[in-house]
Structure 1
């Protein structure tokens, strides 16, 4: 029918759109199934699916064709990635796209890796092991978490390693509360007032230290950390108050090893593109998205 033909045409256009925005990843079967289920969910949102004369087998056939084409296309892109023809930033961005994450949805904001296992103003940066959640930290932290799990099992319960996801609806507004529309989003989430100064994002060193010491924190970072320093400046001169230590919250404080916020973001982008991290980035993607 005309309606069925319209559905097929729109669906094929949607497939072509996905092919334009594909990713590169040596996907394990589990991750590929996740990607395909995400695509299937998106297809179900099409209003054309309400037409009663569209046969289910037509949709299944198209989905099977899409999956086959994706596998072929991904294989080709893997080769490009291995040849360093696509940056790590682009790689992670595409993965976020395929998993239906978007800058237009705070609850599904793109996830990027927090690279550091240790960061202090007076010492060199140490990269974390990206194949583990950031909550794992070093070996001492891992032992603490193992003991925590053992203790919970002894009492007949099973406690999660972390009660916080890699990214959630407040992540983007917390990082970018100094610029709109995230300032307004933060205020809405905090009943029209800024959170307590000590809990605001005010110091990059404190942020990574908290991530490594808070046993409930598994949060990663936002993409802007690698290309846009504007979220580090209090450009709208918001009054965030002062911490208990008497420090006024304004621009985000940057470790002394960096010249300024712009240099900080530039160095972060260079760290992300280091070839020595490439294998770990693949492991991080498997951990977060599968």
Structure 2
């Protein structure tokens, strides 16, 4: 990378900067924010956010090179992974300046999640628990999923199965409750297959998944996340983004997604009866996310995903413990003895799913109570 007063040039590997067709550049004046990122499990990438609401993810040869570019960025350019930015966001959310949607987007970015990285895609919670009623009552507590529990612990009967299995793992170094994760490339593409089919085809060796395993019904997908022993996936931001359209729910390209075993064609995603259209579904989903009931419990979910209950003994106590691959860090790679071992661990982690970076050192405050948090409330990584 080369940084001038006006532009940042990036040279793809193996291409000389003297080759005008090889080097890409962005205007410095168009950069509104940045964030440190990962390339796999390597801490060597950088994301730049532009005025036009696009972003670009750049991977460098080393952490040192990335930091050199970071230090040359114009003074005042906010960095999402800066603890001060996160602390300010906590206060803004607490005061109601940031919506729940905006706040979760920023926390995801601060925790290393990016729309440009399927292995670390932003994660959002299931909020609504009712996909069968003809009318949605957003004033009723039973309409909402319990955000104090991870998705894997919502069904007591299934949780008992996971706990019995955990008890039988006492002879291994890293026992776990869940052998799958709440966010992984396959899950992201499961939701986005209608608007990103080429990625699914790449993942599935040139063909779509079995029709019965495709994202074809909201009710079926939520039911699976509650009952299937291999399914604890959460949602992605698209389910709540009222400004981005609803392409992921509509088979606008008329893709040949097949027929289920019951003979039903997998086409547009089947919506709950209370949704008049895909846009109406997203609008109501967003309304639920921004509701008082959700706002009251959202800090508990933040603790599970980005906070003190996301790791270690706290995660175990809160039934939130995943396979050890989900917790691999760049420093873990450095301790491995061979390149093959590192490559295998990195591939496993990227395919399985990676827990977001730890953001908070204490329980997240309730809305209205976090305006004056201490600086050490936000964990400093860089």
Matched, 1:219 2:219: no
Whole-Å separation in 2 of the counterparts to 1:287 and 1:151: 24
Aligned to 1:278: 295
1:279–1:193 CA distance, 2 compared to 1 (3 A)? same
- When structure 1 is superposed on structure 2, of 103-112 and 142-151 the one drifting more is 142-151
- Tell me the alpha carbon deviations over residues 115-152 of structure 1, each in whole angstroms, 9 at most, x when there is no partner: 24453356866322223220111444433433332344
Alpha-carbon distance change, 246 to 152 in structure 1, aligned in 2, over 3 angstroms:
same
Which of 212, 216, 223 aligns to 1:209? It is: 223
Q: Determine the structure 2 residue equivalent to 1:143.
A: 160
Gap change, CA 1:104 and 1:207, over 3 Å in 2: same
2:108 counterpart SS class: helix
Matching residue of 2:366: none
CA contact (8 A) 1:117 1:137 kept: no
Aligned length: 249
Pick from 71, 77, 90: which aligns with 1:78?
Answer: 90
**Which residue in 2 is equivalent to 1:199?**
213
**C-alpha displacement of 1:163:** 1.5
Q: CA deviation at 1:18?
A: 11
- Does 2:207 align with 1:190? no
After superposition, the C-alpha distances for 1:86-135 in whole angstroms (9 at most, x for unaligned) are: 10110010011112221112222111111244533568663222232201
Structure 2, unaligned runs of 5 or more: 9-29, 36-40, 47-58, 72-77, 137-141, 307-357, 359-382
Give distance in 2, aligned partners of 1:245 and 1:117.
25
Task: Kindly state the Cα deviation for residue 241 of structure 1 after the two structures are TM-superposed.
Answer: 1.2
TM-score (norm 2): 0.56
* 1:55-105 CA-partner distances (Å, limit 9, x unpaired): xxxx9xxxxxx99x9555544433321111110110010011112221112
Q: Relative to total residues, which structure has the larger strand share, 1 or 2?
A: 2
Match of 1:85, SS state, is: coil
Counterpart among 148, 157, 161 of residue 177 in structure 2: 161
Alignment match, 2:189: 173
TM-score (norm 1): 0.72
Q: Which residue number in structure 1 is paired with residue 325 of structure 2? A: none
| Secondary structure class of the residue paired with 1:94 | helix
Which has the larger helix fraction? 1
Change (3 A) 1:71 1:98: closer
SS in 2 for 1:170: helix
Root mean square deviation of aligned Cα: 3.7
Pair 1:167–1:18, CA change in 2 (3 A)? farther
Structure 1: gaps (5+ residues): 11-16, 23-37, 60-65
Q: Which residue of 1 aligns with 2:247?
A: 230
The SS at the match of 2:251 is coil
